[in-house]
Amino acid sequence: MLDIFATDPEAKEKREEREAARERATRPTWDFQFRSGKRNGTKPVSLRKWRITTPKQEVANALKELFGGSITEAPNGDYAVDTDTDAIEVVVDASKIESKLIQWADGLPIHECDGSKYLSPEDDKGKPCGCPKLLDERKDLARQRRGPKPNIVLPLRLAQDEELGLGKYTATAWSFAEDLPYTMRALQRIDGEALCILRLEFVEYEVGGETRSFTKPVLDVVSSFQDAIADDPES
């Protein structure tokens, strides 16, 4: 077996540090994660109903009880609940939402910015990132894998069962990024956590006489979560 580090333990230690950092970046500790797509072999497939993955069997069973569907194994070994619903009530804290543009290579971010300035690495933080000013040009570069695309991490809890822990949805759709300033404005008008509906919207359109379709994630802000609890006669 090839061992290029046999005579260079310092290089091996540095590589292992990078591998550990990559594992931390790609395998955070969440109780569950919302998925709006999956892979069919090597082909990505958009979903019309939510898929929720979790490393915990008891959480998977509870999710199936709440939202129907079936439980299978996800590619990473987690439990995957393919639910029967396209809309789920969630609890969101606006201050915990992270939004940036990221370009990935070999599982690591090689370009991380806020649309105008670098967010990392530390030496480049605050410097102009060089992304195009026009949105269509940003999208074109991202499609060509020559530029970053949205990476919006939305921590959340389930309104129907908060005891299932902390989950997240990572949105990479440009439509979600375009909605985000208006969504944040609605969230910031609420004092404390907000009751929201995270849904998948099915869209059909025609191009040259051909019907095409896709699903896009949408976060609808409903009300203050505390107000919703107070108004619930069963709470």
What is the pLDDT at residue 24? Answer: 53
What is the pLDDT at residue 23? Answer: 57
Quick check: 52 pLDDT over 80? yes
What is the pLDDT at residue 70? Answer: 97
Averaged pLDDT for residues 51-61: 97
Helix (H) or strand (E) holding 16: helix 9-26
For the stretch 57-66, contacts whose Cβ atoms lie closer than 8 Å and that sit 24 or more positions apart, written own/partner, are: 59/31, 59/32, 59/164, 59/165, 62/161, 62/164, 63/32, 63/164, 66/158, 66/160, 66/161
Q: Return d(Cα 232, Cα 79) in angstroms, integer.
A: 32
pLDDT band at 234 (very low <50, low <70, confident <90, very high): low
Tokens coding 50: 């939510």
What is the pLDDT at residue 100? Answer: 96
Averaged pLDDT for residues 166-191: 96
What is the pLDDT at residue 139? Answer: 95
Question: What is each CA distance from 176 to 12, 126, 153, 173, 230, in whole angstroms?
Answer: 41, 25, 11, 5, 30
What would the pLDDT profile of 57-103 be if each residue is shown by its tens digit?
A: 999 999 999 999 999 999 889 999 999 999 999 999 999 999 999 99
What would the pLDDT profile of 13-49 be if each residue is shown by its tens digit?
A: 777 777 666 655 555 589 999 999 988 877 888 999 9
Q: Return d(Cα 179, Cα 202) in angstroms, integer.
A: 16
Are 79 and 60 in contact by the 8 Å Cβ rule? The answer is: yes
Tokens coding 225: 């979560």
What is the pLDDT at residue 10? Answer: 80
- For residues 125 and 229, the model is more confident at 125
Q: What is the mean pLDDT of the chain?
A: 90
Quick check: 188 pLDDT over 80? yes
Positive/negative CA dihedral, 143, 88, 29, 65:
negative
User: Which residue ranges make up each domain of the chain?
Assistant: 30-85, 86-105+151-235, 106-150
Helices (H), 68-118: none
Radius of gyration of the chain from its Cα atoms, rounded to whole angstroms: 20
Q: What is the percentage of the chain residues whose pLDDT exceeds 70?
A: 91
Residue 186, CA atoms < 13 Å, CB-side half-sphere? 14
Averaged pLDDT for residues 207-234: 86
Are 158 and 199 in contact by the 8 Å Cβ rule? The answer is: no
What is the pLDDT at residue 56? Answer: 96
What is the pLDDT at residue 208? Answer: 82
> What phi and psi, each to the nearest 5 degrees, are found at residue 50?
-70, 140
Are 169 and 157 in contact by the 8 Å Cβ rule? The answer is: no
Q: Return d(Cα 150, Cα 82) in angstroms, integer.
A: 25
pLDDT band at 149 (very low <50, low <70, confident <90, very high): very high
Tokens coding 40: 């069919």
